[in-house]
Amino acid sequence: MSEHSQMTASDHQLVIAAQSGSLSAQRDLVRRFHPRVIRCLQYHAGTGAPVEDLAQDCWTAVLSRLQHLELQVCFNAFILTIARRRAIDWIRKEQRHRVRRASDTLASDMPATPPDENDTEGKLARIHEGILQLPATQRVVLSMFYLENRCIREIAEGLQISEGTVKSRLFHAREALKKQLSKKDGGEK
């Protein structure tokens, strides 16, 4: 038997012992796989992630369901899949928070007085109003690009999305904004 298959057999025996309620086996399982879980979370969620909290969430989920677990694959693959999914969930949650914060910032920059269409402030107010009607993902990209003067790469890194997605969102946001502004101009004439 190779070293890898021996380790897998040993892991399997440890899982079975943990499933039978052995607390020492559960502790050994955590000790054995915790460093792998941490590395997986760091790799997928990045350096700013609360890795220890995410790891604790993983172990809570695994240990609470351990007695009912029927492994179709080795435990290593199972726990790392959970860790990867927790990291992805955390990233998505962070993206939603960033989008919400950027939208709130953009909304707070709106002028409090009604716009006067004949001056520059009125035109800017119409643009801000149009931007606020865009989907949050497009608003954020527009504000980062035009108001914060960030380049495509910086926006992609900040939102943890690809540069192509940033370009696509910018394009669609510009098109939607043009459409909204032309409707307002057309409706006023």
Note the pLDDT tens digit of each residue in 93-122.
Answer: 887 777 777 766 666 655 555 544 456 666
| Chain centroid offset of residue 167 CA | 19
Non-local (6+) Cβ contacts of 137 within 8 A are: 99, 169
- Report whether pLDDT(19) > 90: no
Q: Is residue 126 within 8 Å of residue 184, measured between CB atoms?
A: yes
What DSSP designation does 115 have? P
Look up residue 83 and give its amino acid.
A
Q: Is residue 115 within 8 Å of residue 126, measured between CB atoms?
A: yes
pTM summary value? 0.51
pLDDT at 5: 41
pLDDT at 107: 60
